[in-house]
Structure 1
Amino acid sequence: MSHISCGPDFTTGPICHPGDTDWTDIHRKISVIVKRVEASFKEMDETHLVLSVFLKTAMKILFGSFHHNNIASEVHSPSPLSWNQNTLSNVKPFFSQVCVCVRVLQSDCVNYVKIVHHYNRTHLYACGTGAFHPTCAFVEVGHRMEDHVFRIDPSKVEDGKGKSPYDPRHNAASVLVGDELYAGVATDLMGRDFTIFRSLGKRPSIRTEQHDSRWLNEPKFIGSFWVPESENPDDDKVFFFFRETAVEAQGLGKSTYSRIGQLCRNDMGGQRSLVNKWTTFLKTRLICSVPGADGSDTYFDELRDVFLLQTRDRKNPLVYTVFSTSSSVFKGSAVCLYSMNDIRRAFLGPFAHKEGPNYQWVPFQGKVPYPRPGMCPSKTFGSFESTKGFPDDVIQFARHHPLMYNPVYPMTRRPIFVRTNVEYSFTQIAVDRVNAADGQYDVMFIGTDRGTVLKVINVPKESWNNMEELLLEELEVFSPGSVSPQQQLYVGSDTGIAQVPLHRCSVYGKACAECCLARDPYCAWDGTSCTRYLPNNKRRFRRQDVRNGDPNTLCSGDHHKHRVAERKLFGVEGSSTFLECIPKSLQARVTWTFQKHPQNPREEVRLDDRILQTDRGLLIRRVLKRDVGIYQCHAMEHGFTQTLLGITLEIVPSTSPSTSNLPSDAPVRLDPRSGGGPPMTNQKLWYRDFMQLVDHPNLSTVDQICEQVWARKNAGGEQADKTFAAQGKEAPPAGPAVRPANKKWKHLQEIRKGRNRRTHDGKPNPRAPRSAGE
């Protein structure tokens, strides 16, 4: 049973201050942070999964020991664990005074958790900022979920310097390998001394060279992983991913480069130089860019997150990364994929070298000492048993040449998924490998700063080198709803954790064509519905084609005919009306056809300044008598055409004094300025207000726009009252309230919900299984 954890960002939750948590806030629309499950969590028994929930608005640590099948029923009642004054009585006065001295914000003077690792089957190891006094502790969780054990042993609380930063705003990245902790942190109060530090375990503590910009230059640590190099554990390396101010770009302005750094697990430091310092540390640049036609690349420089997807070969996992742009002019995000072979090749390439301040960085052309800097002392590649036995020239070369000249490029030399000119940025990523009928697919779950998760796959076109990026869904994470018991996505943020199913096949409709066009590797057509695809399922009647998504071939034997939904709409001549039609697939191209009468041939609707097509339907800015007729909405995708909806539009003459002759349930589009009567003589069209509403996803902004519209209408009514009073006439009786209830506009917020496979209220309109022209 596989699980992807997009669990809470362990770097942001306060854990030490009395207070309560309002769990209703969990379902707010907030910035989503996707986080991988720690490898140690995966090793736990399948019936017991410890999920740690850190709430930034809470003032204490909240750990919940939950059954992984469904945390929704249990997440509302976690077990509180206080890391309180009694536990930290020996250091409380000191770090309270320090916090008061260096910080004004009271919210900083709490213990923000920065590191959480599963130490063994009974304990977690957690470190936090400790109100600017880093502190670590072992947290007992018991052997099983039924044990209900969750406590801190005061005797096992220890100093967290070199494991957690002082300032909650500083990033930290760490990995626990065996009983050793490798952490990238800021080790001083002012946040100027950044280091990669090894602690715990039996080997001596080791760190990077201090105050040397060639090693680390204002880094922001993103992630850390252990990857075996060979069958010999002495060759194992630990990799750190971070971004920093580039020393190569000095003199050209301040530039940020993304990096990958490596070091050997068995590094013991030097004997006479680099004592208790890394002697095997190397770093190089990670490039994620889109090649331009003129030879210049568009770079995504700022690394945001890293995910290692394990393969059958433990030595060669796939490295998925999320990048964003640093430019204030061009904004975008990208996902780049790297191979460990390319990373190792870069570290075996030339070293970057600079003769002096006025020289450029060039590949080192001299003799590289033996053993080559960056190689681990082992019997696999040499005869050295410890780095303390390395010659002095090796140590000196390693000190002055930590940077490699060749960068690491992504596979295919370009990103596998890109979004530009959108309202959100990618923040984090988790990946699940799925077996489908036509092969394996890596499903990417990409968190955004807008509170959504993008579900994306790459599908090969002519070859595996030519890939098509396919956005399957955009999930609104923190919304109430039921969850299935298996295949869960755990998504966390500053205020909570949510559980979302990896597969939601029911949203793809009830027709074979819709299920096929979804191209979701989790789903397949079973003859009656779109359901979860299981490779070992004994049912033979399973239709799935992720690569091509061709319902003409896949659903040729499906004889289920579905009637096209029909609606009748009334519009007022000279006013505006909107014909809504939203396809379930964002990849579908929507076209509209028109028939004056049922016996007339259909013709495509001609778009101009009066008739506009949006992604939600057809907007007729000024209704004319000739617009009466039958409109049909068609969706075309992968050569397959289906009719989604038929709308019969009837026109009410503008000279009509009332609409009492219309059916009571008929939808009518009236000029909103007229209060239900004929349109005003002012020719300014109200569609501008409508389009303004459509283009604003924020409900509060929508309310402000509505207030402006209603204010204009009220002003017009007051002016009319003054006119009647001046003429000595009695003003006409007031009609219904001009200002509609706010709930009248809530459908606009629902329309803007981030979702590619859209569902409607009531019974969905299934797509016909065959082409509309057949």
Structure 2
Amino acid sequence: MISVSPLCVCSEDVFMLETKDSQNPIVYGVFSTSSSVFRGSAVCVYSMASIRAAFNGPFAHKEGPDYRWVEYKGRIPYPRPGTCPSVTYDPLHKSTRDFPDDLVSFMRGHHLMWEPILPVNRRPVFTLVNVSYTLRRLVVDRVEAADGQYDVLHLGTDDGQVLKVVSVPKENREPEEIILEQLTVFQNHAPILSMELSTKRQQLYVSSDEGVAQLPLQRCELYGRDCADCCLARDPYCVWDGNTCNRYFPSNKRRARRQDGKHGDSMSQCHNAEDGSESVELKVIYGVQSSSTFLECMPRSQQATVTWTVQPSHTRTSRELLQSEDRMVHMKRGLLMQRLEPGDAGLFSCTTLEHSFSQVQARYNLKIIPLQSMTASQTRASDPGAGGAGPMGGPGGPGSHTQRHTKLFRNYKDLHMVGMASMSANEYCEELWYLEKKKLRQLKWKRTQVDNGKARVRRHDFTEDTSLQ
């Protein structure tokens, strides 16, 4: 624990990544702050050489009238504190029991080193601030990709989530932090207690008080069926093989492989990269005046910037919907439109922008049902004499059902006739209820006929048996 007023930085977890040199692994550490002023987490990477240099350097101790930490410049007893006793190193010190008293006393008063251990590049490889959760556990997988080598971080949080992160180095700039995936593993938000990585099975095992979960290291099929989506994902595990977004194998020699984790430049990697606006289905959405509606748009990449454009029904020009516009709430999963007005009708498009590549994700044709139509339909429904549902006969009785049920539309999308034709929303629901009730009566009648037929057959068989006797 490192106390830096007014913050307290705590070490949560440490992971040692093995390298070709077994004596010099790479050390990853997760740190968090416990303060009401600032809350955040960070991942730092250290070299074993810098750790050895700090432990072989001077010690720190407190002295002076203000009792501050300063560098210790006095005599250091033999053997040097931190040295493991062994017969090979010194036959007189086979174990810690053989250490002299002055060495034990020195170790009690000098348990900190004076020189700090700075992370590689003197900054964290990943930071997380202004979120409701804290990083707790860490495992690292070194991945061989088509365009180089990456260290993929799998981070466990205190609310049951697992983050898949990669830090992409940039020339003469700070590295780019990319969150590839963010999964909620335990629904009850149980803290992640431990994580184990199996590179042989390509699986990640996560445990909490609720149990153990098994997660695949890669899910390339989620990045879509286009070359552009696969490249923009920038997942070192995945590569475009010419047909699909698939797992990368270093032994694969196919020339059609496309991957660009450092830049995510799909324009240079994919020759047929287009916005795909024509291939996106145009969905018809209906909203009632003065109510709210939601237009869903989920970008495939967390690094993409989402923009909404609208072409009003009474014009041929499109404009961008700004974040500051009244009644329009831009959310992570789409656009919430409040207090709908007749002028809100039109064509809405959701476009994502990432690394100069734009792509249409969703298209909607919003139609507004006037409030007068809904009010009129409610009035007719409340007044049986005005066309509402009457108990017997009349315009609202069963007779009207038999006359008009043939006009009933088969799906909810046909409700665009509401407000534009004679049938209101309540009348549509009434007709639908009547047809369902009629079907149930017919089905019940058929079952009764079948049961009566079976009963007559049984009685005839019994009579024939009696006559034979």
Normalising by the residue count of structure 1, what TM-score does the alignment of the two structures yield? Answer: 0.45
Deviations 1:545-571 (A, max 9, x none): 111111111112569967112101111
Question: Is 1:665 matched up with 2:412?
Answer: yes
* Structure 1 pair 380–542 and aligned structure 2 pair: CA distance change class (3 A): farther
In the alignment, structure 1 residue 632 sits paired with structure 2 residue 349: yes
1:512·1:558 contact (CA, 8 Å) conserved in 2? Answer: yes
1:356 Cα offset (Å): 7.2
Distance 1:476 1:615 in 2: 16
Deviation string for 1:550-600 (max 9, x for gaps)?
Answer: 111111256996711210111122222222111121211111112235982
Is residue 506 from structure 1 mapped to residue 208 from structure 2 by the alignment?
no
Of 223, 247, 261, 1:532 maps to 247
Name the residue aligned to 2:292.
576
* Alignment match, 2:159: 450
Question: Within the alignment, does 1:623 sit opposite 2:370 as a pair?
Answer: no
1:620 offset after TM fit, Å?
1.8
SS at match of 2:53: helix
CA RMSD of aligned residues (A): 3.4
| Per-residue Cα deviation, 1:100-133 (whole angstroms, up to 9, x for no partner) | xxxxxxxxxxxxxxxxxxxxxxxxxxxxxxxxxx
Aligned counterpart, 1:362: 70
Question: Deviation of residue 343 (structure 1)?
Answer: 1.4
Give the secondary-structure state (helix, strand or coil) at the position aligned to 2:49. Answer: helix
Instruction: Give 2:363's aligned amino acid.
Output: G
* Superposition deviation, residue 317 in structure 1: 1.2
Q: Aligned pair 1:316/2:24, yes or no?
A: yes
State the Cα distance separating 1:401 from its structure 2 match.
2.0
Kindly provide the amino acid, as one letter, of the partner of residue 206 in structure 2.
V
Q: Structure 1: which amino acid aligns with 2:54?
A: A
Tell me if 1:552 matches 2:267: yes
Q: Which sits farther off after the overlay, 511-520 or 616-625?
A: 616-625
Question: In 1, distance between residues paired with 2:280 and 2:314?
Answer: 15
Distance of 2:22 and 2:12 partners within structure 1 = 24
Higher relative contact order (CA 8 A, sep 6+): 1
Letter in 2 for 1:520: D
1-side partners of 2:356 and 2:274: how far apart?
19
Q: Superposition pairs for residues 380-419 of structure 1, below 5 Å?
A: 386=94, 393-419=102-128
Q: Which residue matches 2:53? A: 345
Amino acid at match of 2:297: C
Corresponding position: 1:473 with 2:190: no
1:459 to 152, 168, 185: 168
Shift of 1:403: 2.3
**Aligned residue type for 2:126:** F
Going from structure 1 to structure 2, the CA distance change for 1:525 and 1:570 (only over 3 Å counts) comes to same
Structure 1 residue 405: deviation in Å? 2.2
Contact 1:524 1:532 in 2 (8 A): yes
Structure 2 counterpart of 1:326: 34
Which segments of 5 or more consecutive residues in structure 1 lack a partner in the other structure? 1-256, 259-286, 290-296, 678-732, 737-774
Tell me how far apart the structure 1 counterparts of residues 162 and 413 of structure 2 sit (CA, whole Å).
39
1:480-495 to structure 2, matched below 5 A, reads: 486-495=201-210
Closer/same/farther in 2, CA of residues 318 and 298 from structure 1, 3 Å limit: farther
Would you say the 8 A contact 2:93–2:99 is kept in 1?
A: no
Aligned-pair CA distance for 1:668 = 7.4
- Kindly report which structure 2 residues correspond to 1:693-712, keeping only aligned pairs within 5 A, or say none: none
Q: State the SS of the aligned residue for 1:343.
A: helix
Q: Retained in 1: the 8 A contact 2:275–2:358?
A: no
Equivalent positions of 1:413-428 (< 5 A) are 413-428=122-137
1:322 and 1:336 in contact (8 A); partners too: yes
1: CA distance, partners of 2:6 / 2:414: 50
Structure 2 distance, partners of 1:602, 1:400, is 73
1:652 equivalent in structure 2: 369
Q: Which amino acid aligns with 2:413?
A: A
Considering only CA atoms, is the larger Rg found in Structure 1 or Structure 2? 2
Residues 300 and 325 in structure 1, CA contact (< 8 A), matched pair in contact too:
yes
Letter in 1 for 2:412: D
Does the CA contact (< 8 Å) of 2:8 and 2:35 recur in 1?
A: no
| Whole-Å separation in 1 of the counterparts to 2:245 and 2:314 | 34
Gap change, CA 1:383 and 1:416, over 3 Å in 2: same
Secondary structure at 1:431 match in 2: strand
Deviations 1:137-182 (A, max 9, x none): xxxxxxxxxxxxxxxxxxxxxxxxxxxxxxxxxxxxxxxxxxxxxx
Query: Which whole-Å CA distance do the structure 2 matches of 1:364 and 1:413 have between them?
Result: 25
1:354 aligned counterpart, secondary structure: strand
Q: CA separation in 2, counterparts of 1:495 and 1:331?
A: 26
- Map 1:598-609 onto structure 2 (within 5 A): 600-606=316-322, 607-609=324-326
Query: Does the aligned pair in 1 maintain the 2:155–2:163 contact within 8 Å?
Result: yes
3-state SS, counterpart of residue 466 of structure 1: strand
Partner of 2:442: none
Identity of aligned residues (%): 49
Q: Say if 2:299 and 2:352, in contact at 8 Å, map to a contact too.
A: yes
Matched residues in 2 for 1:486 and 1:371: separation? 46
Query: What does residue 429 of structure 1 align with?
Result: 138
Tell me the CA shift for residue 332 of structure 1. Answer: 1.9
> In the TM superposition, what is the alpha-carbon distance from 1:661 to its structure 2 partner?
9.6
Contact 1:426/1:447 (8 A) holds in 2: yes
Classify 1:667/1:396 alpha carbon distance in 2 versus 1 (closer, same or farther; 3 Å).
farther
- Deviation (angstroms), 1:532: 0.4
Check 1:580–1:392 CA distance in 2 against 1; reply closer, same or farther (3 A cut). closer
- Matched residue SS, 2:300: coil
Aligned counterparts of 2:410 and 2:310: Cα–Cα separation in 1: 24
Cα deviation for residue 637 of structure 1 reads 0.7
1:372 positional shift: 3.0
Separation of aligned partners in 2, 1:391 and 1:412: 41
2:147 to 438, 453, 461: 438
CA distance in 2 between counterparts of 1:439 and 1:598 reads 52
Aligned twin of 2:311: 595
- Contact in 2 for aligned 1:569/1:667 (Cα 8 Å): no
Which one is further off, 598-607 or 579-588?
598-607
How many angstroms does 1:386 deviate by? Answer: 3.9
Relative to structure 1, the CA distance from residue 663 to residue 649 in structure 2 (aligned partners, 3 Å threshold; closer, same or farther) is farther
Q: Displacement, 1:605?
A: 2.2
TM-score under structure 2 normalisation? 0.72
Return the alpha-carbon distance in structure 2 between the equivalents of residues 432 and 319 of structure 1. 13
CA contact (8 A) 1:572 1:668 kept: no
More helix by share: 2
Q: What is the CA distance between 1:334 and its match in structure 2?
A: 1.8
The residue aligned with 1:694 is none
Secondary structure of the 1:552 match is helix
In structure 2, C-alpha distance between the alignment counterparts of 1:504 and 1:600, rounded to whole Å: 41
Which residue does the alignment assign to 1:613? 330
Residue correspondences, number: 378
Q: Which residue identity does 1:347 align to in structure 2?
A: F
